[in-house]
A and B are shown apart, each in its own frame.
Chain A
């Protein structure tokens, strides 16, 4: 063992930006992986002193216990409003929000859409596991039709509950967004892709060309009442059919000049 434990043999280590606090997330939860990726990116870019993050209400409410940067804890759904003010008042900072699907797509839909539509130069990380995890697995706007939750115990029914909401598709259509993508962290290859996407979003923030929005299709093994492995398989088979992975937009916000012609004579 002593021979193996040498600095030159080091192939992996925990990011210095991740704290030593024990995470409260359930085994198999995607949050911990995404936290790790964000911490690695902040470390690699050397922007710990320049990053301000906004935590949501939901399972990631305690994100501030794990990533060693300055944090603000927002009211449910309001993270993009906080981030808007932070970035406008301190334009040289890197600002990101970290939100779940209940937070972002339901109660915070207005704040999300308007921040993206204004083209705020922020990064929004959107964890979509199709339900409210922290409150005990209730139906979210993103819950698939037929998916069982504690408030849709017989499966989501469109007549009763309406259609599942594809926030990312809507956001991609907004002129203020620069980079909109859907990722996952259930396999090593996907984790690498997801990290690349989040890093790209942070790089885009340097250029001030609009909002970056990264959805991470995720599992909630406790809420779904599955083992982590079953949950990953279920996600691949069902969630990803409705929420296919890939970039939805990769450019920069619309050119403001293109919008001036409508009022010019």
Chain B
């Protein structure tokens, strides 16, 4: 790491902190802390959380910043993750920009609230700073919540839209993007990161301050569904996920599926590194993708032409780019800090065209770049 002291390199030194309105700035800052700054700056209305390692800095930063005195953002420490996600439900149902953050065991507790939010079609932002499991597991970084994040997590047929940042800058950027997508689809959005990105410090360009939405703006944008007070010009708005008539419930299910299919069509985000001449492909997101970039350097020095596909959205998964690459490369290695979860989606995308294997470390261990190259040699290149 560069330095432990956060240095504020204000782009507009003469303005300093006085003028909140138009100040973007560069900061050396932790991934978790930047979530807090990004939330305030993107005009979030509320944060409801509960402490858990390795992401407690989010709420600590918010409480220290006291945004209720500047932007009017509400910050509340709830009595549990169960309560905090339900507070998010209550706030989201009012058309407000609300969010929570937690880490794996806390996110497990939130699954009840998350499925209700998905069922009631409410927009909100949830950050999971993943640590190793199962159970209490470890506080070290992991990517073992991929299934939970991408395949629903709670009960019922639903999906979150899942963003996987690979840098502290992306932690910042995905807060605003996450809210935009959440409101576009009226669907919960999850930032799926891990303890490494949450805890590491990098240089970040913070956004300008965006004002919170006014009551009029919320009425115009979400007045058709949000519970902001029944006026005489409309029927009452009811936020619920309950429908006892199976015929109607199936239609609701279908509407949700259509929404997820629209996401699959329009919201896939990914990044390719050195794929043009690649004979082999690494597939990795978040922290693993950072390791894989180094692995590519090492491998290419040895004459192995390898590239990387980094999914930025894990749901929707970049199926088509992988399909295309499957026509060109000889094999793919899914590199994850888990027992192998995303590898199933890679296999589904590739559909047997080329060999796909998984390499990963567990228990909170980040694989070394050399280990990845070795695994590529043994599992993909050396294999048939």
Contacts and interface: CB of A to CB of B under 8 A. Distances in A.
Interface of B: 45-46, 48, 74, 76, 78-80, 82-84, 86-91, 93-94, 96, 98, 112-113, 116, 120, 227-232, 236-242
A86 B90 contact: yes
Nearest to A64: B238
B229 A93 contact: yes
Given A64-B236, A75-B116, A81 B78 contact: yes
Given A54-B90, A73-B240, A89-B98, 8 more contacts: A69-B230, A70-B236, A70-B238, A72-B90, A75-B89, A82-B93, A85-B87, A89-B45
Contacts of B91: 85-86, 89
A33 interface: no
A72 B83 contact: no
Contacts of A81: 78, 82-84, 86-87, 89-90
B237 A84 contact: no
Contacts of A69: 229-230, 236
A64 B86 contact: no
Contacts of A89: 45-46, 74, 90-91, 94, 96, 98
Interface stretch (A44-52, A206-214, A248-256): A44-52
A55 B79 CA distance: 21
A48 B98 CA distance: 25
Nearest to B48: A85
Nearest to A57: B242
B268 to A, nearest CB: 31
A82 B89 CA distance: 6
Nearest to B231: A49
Interface string A8-41: 0000000000000000000000000000000000
Interface of A: 48-52, 54-55, 61, 64, 68-75, 78, 81-86, 88-90, 93, 110-111, 114
Contacts of B229: 48-52, 69-70, 93
Contacts of A55: 240
A104 B238 CA distance: 21
B231 A111 contact: no
A75 B84 CA distance: 13
B87 A52 contact: no
18 contacts: A48-B229, A50-B229, A68-B230, A70-B230, A72-B89, A73-B238, A73-B242, A75-B86, A78-B89, A83-B90, A84-B90, A85-B86, A86-B227, A88-B46, A88-B74, A89-B91, A90-B228, A111-B83
A110 B79 contact: yes
A111 B81 CA distance: 11
A251 B91 CA distance: 29
A85 B88 contact: yes
A121 to B, nearest CB: 13
Contacts of A82: 86-87, 89-90, 93
B114 to A, nearest CB: 10
A72 B236 CA distance: 11
A157 B62 CA distance: 48
A70 B79 contact: no
A72 B86 contact: no
A51 B227 CA distance: 9
Contact of A85 (B80, B98, B242): B98
Contacts of A84: 76, 83, 87, 90
B93, B116, B228, B232: residue with the most chain A Cβ atoms closer than 10 Å: B93
Nearest to A52: B227
A123 B229 CA distance: 16
A64 B236 CA distance: 9
A71 B88 CA distance: 16
A75 B238 contact: no
Nearest to B242: A73
B80 A110 contact: yes
B86 A74 contact: yes
A208 to B, nearest CB: 15
B360 to A, nearest CB: 34
Given A49-B231, A69-B230, A111-B83, A86 B94 contact: yes
A72 B91 CA distance: 10
A67 to B, nearest CB: 8
Given A48-B230, A86-B227, A89-B46, A72 B93 contact: yes
A75 B112 contact: yes
B39 to A, nearest CB: 14
Contacts of A85: 46, 48, 74, 76, 86-91, 94, 98
B240 A64 contact: yes
A78 B80 CA distance: 11
* Residue from A55, A70, A78, A111 whose CB has the most chain B CB atoms within 10 Å: A70
Given A70-B227, A74-B86, A111 B79 contact: yes
Nearest to B234: A70
Contacts of B113: 75, 78
Nearest to B84: A81
Contacts of B45: 89
Contacts of B82: 78, 81, 110-111
Contacts of A78: 82-83, 86, 89, 113
Contacts of A50: 229
Nearest to A90: B94
Contacts of B90: 54, 72, 74, 81-86, 89
Contacts of A114: 78-79, 83
Contacts of B88: 85
Given A82-B86, A85-B98, A89-B91, A73 B241 contact: yes
A207 to B, nearest CB: 20
Given A81-B83, A90-B94, A71 B238 contact: yes
